[in-house]
């Protein structure tokens, strides 16, 4: 597979995300597949950030370490990341932002100086259009002509008027031409065959899109990185689907409003991160006791406490599984990529309503903020199952919200529809929803609720497999490690080792079918982005099996294939 890695480095506020967005959309239009991830500090301006794009002529789901094109908008990009450039790679830098020492580092044939802001000013355009000059400069290394880039700029800036579009196109052309004059007839990557229409989405687009496709009608949330993009997406597009979006004063209000909306009969959700999820735990126990369906997106970030709020980690798995105090039915899903995020959101709402319980969907900053090209989603795969809902006409005065039933799933009646009275409480209650104190009713009600947990486990989503069917090495993971594991497996198989990847889209309850893979004689490695091995502990508690070894990352940076391969027995010989 032909790949090319572009890294744009700079400070927050310099426009590096704009440069990255222009390039990834133009590259997709040109026919490239891509995976792009962001690394940013917890500040509005300053600090060192980067936007990295991996282009490929086939589907790609992870990032690589080595860089083919480095774009330096600040000095730190040169001093910190110049060594990442492959032999033969190209560096495009702004000489106006470099000190004397950094300028010595770029005195190489592969380094091209281009004063981005001055290019814009020389054309009578504002400095803010410097990012168009940078995008044009990179495009000169990718393509012989600039039409697609111009079309992309028109699409991105069209709502700002013709003057802004024209200005950006002029500046992009200037950057394109200057670099083209320097590199001359240097071969460009072969343009990939156009694969048909595709979407360019990040996880924080796919999750709310999946919710909208699944019929969500209410969302309440308080902004918290890295989940805020989910809230913003629903706020921007939800009105078209008649969704009520409420920004709450805090996470406690958000989850309680979500529970209230669901109690009233609509599909409802909230989104947060670790600290906000902690504030929601009492209300989640209420939803469990009162058997009210609710979906919560928890976009994990490195803790404890505020930790690294803009970095990535899978440190909330154990906490999400515990969810709250007391025993009640629950499920935890963990999509591994953009496509899975879309479809799993629909599954989350079905689970929540069919079993009348809370469902947590685990994301993280890497999934939330990474872009990937995917084919258009198949809406025919979205099935909306509302569970056992009794119509108002059939709910007479003898309706019992928590009627005892063998499988534990009582019929729901939306309050106000029919003669039946719907009573729900946080205290223990009887079949009619009214508070009780006697031991016998308490025992029966607990057994009724927990009967549903057995059904959730029996119907848990099975592992998603890739690689060899009779593996020597098995890599097991969940969530955003999916792409890194798949690429590591592909490399291992190409080197003559039989390897298999086992991705778990549902991490609680774990599917019983996982046991048959754990019993295979292969060496098994649990791959996860946390310090304590939370998935490993869950598997050991459920199946009494410990792996051959563990591969863990907890520095706030995302997993990739090289990181995995370097830590397998034999180390770097796998990653060469």
Range ranked top by mean pLDDT from 42-56, 409-423, 440-454: 440-454
533 neighbors 314 (Cβ within 8 angstroms): no
Q: Please give the domain boundaries of the chain with CATH numbers for all domains.
A: 3-183 (3.40.920.10), 200-381 (3.40.50.970), 388-459 (no CATH), 464-575 (3.40.50.920)
**From CA 124, how far away is CA 519, in angstroms rounded?**
69
* CA gap 295, 207 in Å, rounded: 12
Mean pLDDT of 402-421: 92
pTM for this predicted structure: 0.95
Percent of the chain as helix, strand, coil, to the nearest 5: 40, 20, 35
The partner residues of 5 in beta bridges, in order of sequence, read 54
Q: Which tens digits make up the pLDDT trace of 321-356?
A: 999 999 999 999 999 999 999 999 999 999 999 999
Query: Is the CB of residue 218 less than 8 Å from the CB of residue 234?
Result: no
Distance CA 504, CA 298 (A): 17
Query: What residue spans of 93-188 are helical by DSSP H?
Result: 100-105, 116-122, 130-142, 147-157, 162-183
Cα angle at 558 between 488 and 338, to 5 degrees? 80
Residue appearing with tokens 């509302």: 386
CA angle 373, 497, 501 (to 5 degrees): 40
Banded pLDDT at 184 (limits 50, 70, 90)? confident
Rounded distance between C-alpha atoms, residue 56 and residue 79, angstroms: 28
Q: What is the mean pLDDT of residues 256-279?
A: 97
The set of residues, in sequence order, having a beta carbon less than 8 Å from that of 114 and lying 6+ positions away, is 92, 93, 94, 95, 133, 134, 137, 175, 178, 179
User: Which uninterrupted H or E stretch holds 484?
Assistant: helix 482-494
Residue 236: CA count within 13 A, CB half-sphere: 10
Alpha-carbon Rg for the chain, nearest whole angstrom, is 26
The confidence band for 196, taking pLDDT boundaries of 50, 70 and 90, is: confident
Only one residue has tokens 């990847």, namely 501
pLDDT of residue 419: 82
Distances from the Cα of 80 to the Cαs of 9, 84, 152, 455, 470, in angstroms? 10, 9, 31, 53, 43
- For residue range 72-100, list pLDDT tens digits in order: 999 999 999 999 999 999 999 999 999 99
576 pLDDT higher than 60 = no
The model's pLDDT over 201-218, given as tens digits with 9 standing for 90+, comes to: 999 999 999 999 999 999
Distance CA 260, CA 416 (A): 14
Tokens of 200: 């360019």
- Those residues with Cβ within 8 angstroms of residue 258's Cβ, 6 or more apart along the chain or in another chain: 218, 219, 220, 268, 269, 270, 294, 296
Q: Which of 454, 437, 465, 515 has the alpha carbon at shortest distance from 336?
A: 465
């Amino acid at each position: 597979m032909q790949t090319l890695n572009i890294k744009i480095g700079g400070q927050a506020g310099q426009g590096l995300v704009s440069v990255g967005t222009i390039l990834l959309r133009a590259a997709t239009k040109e026919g490239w597949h891509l995976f792009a991830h962001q690394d940013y500090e917890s500040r509005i301006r300053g600090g060192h950030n980067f936007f990295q794009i991996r282009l490929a002529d086939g589907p790609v789901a992870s990032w690589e370490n080595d860089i083919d094109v480095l774009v330096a908008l600040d000095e730190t990009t040169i001093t910190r990341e110049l060594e990442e450039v492959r032999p033969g790679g190209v560096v495009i830098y702004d000489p106006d932002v470099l000190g004397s020492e950094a300028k010595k580092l770029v005195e190489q044939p592969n380094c091209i100086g281009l004063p981005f802001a001055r290019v814009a000013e020389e054309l009578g355009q504002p400095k803010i259009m410097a990012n168009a000059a940078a995008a044009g400069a990179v495009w000169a290394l990718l393509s012989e002509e600039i039409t697609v880039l111009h079309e992309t700029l028109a699409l991105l800036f069209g709502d700002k008027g013709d003057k802004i579009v024209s200005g950006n196109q002029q500046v992009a052309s200037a950057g394109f031409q200057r670099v083209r004059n320097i590199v001359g007839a240097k071969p460009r990557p072969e343009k990939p065959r156009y694969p048909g229409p595709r979407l360019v989405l990040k996880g924080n687009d796919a999750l709310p899109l999946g919710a909208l496709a699944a019929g969500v009608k209410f969302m309440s949330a308080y902004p918290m990185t890295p989940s805020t993009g989910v809230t913003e997406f629903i706020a921007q597009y939800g009105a078209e689907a008649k969704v009520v979006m409420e920004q709450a004063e805090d996470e406690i209000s958000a989850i309680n409003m979500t529970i209230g909306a669901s109690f009233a009969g609509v599909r409802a959700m909230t989104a947060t991160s670790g600290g906000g999820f902690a504030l929601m735990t009492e209300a989640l126990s209420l939803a469990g006791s009162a058997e009210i369906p609710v979906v919560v997106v928890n976009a994990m970030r490195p803790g404890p406490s505020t930790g690294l709020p803009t970095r990535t980690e899978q440190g909330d798995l154990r906490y999400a599984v515990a969810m709250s105090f007391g025993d009640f039915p629950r499920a935890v899903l963990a999509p591994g990529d953009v496509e899975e995020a879309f479809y799993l959101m629909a599954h989350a709402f079905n689970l929540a309503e069919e079993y009348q319980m809370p469902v947590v969907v685990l994301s993280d900053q890497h999934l939330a903020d990474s872009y990937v090209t995917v084919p258009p989603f198949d809406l025919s795969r979205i099935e909306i199952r509302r569970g056992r809902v009794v119509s108002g006409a059939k709910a007479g005065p003898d309706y019992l919200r928590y009627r005892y039933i063998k499988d534990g799933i009582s019929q729901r009646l939306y309050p106000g529809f029919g003669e039946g009275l719907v009573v729900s409480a946080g205290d223990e209650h009887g079949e009619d929803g009214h508070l009780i104190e006697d031991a016998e009713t308490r025992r029966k009600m607990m057994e009724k609720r927990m009967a549903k947990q057995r059904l959730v486990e029996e119907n848990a989503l099975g592992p998603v497999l890739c690689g060899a069917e009779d593996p020597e090495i098995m890599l097991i993971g969940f969530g955003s490690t999916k792409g890194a594991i798949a690429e590591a497996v592909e490399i291992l198989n190409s080197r003559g080792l039989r390897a298999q990847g086992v991705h778990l889209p549902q991490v609680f309850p774990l599917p019983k079918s996982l046991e048959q893979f754990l019993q295979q004689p292969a060496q098994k490695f649990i791959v996860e982005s946390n310090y304590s091995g939370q998935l490993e502990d869950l598997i050991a508690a459920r199946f009494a099996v410990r792996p051959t070894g563990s591969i863990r990352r907890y520095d706030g940076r995302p997993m990739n294939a090289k990181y995995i391969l370097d830590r397998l027995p034999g180390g770097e010989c796998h990653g060469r």
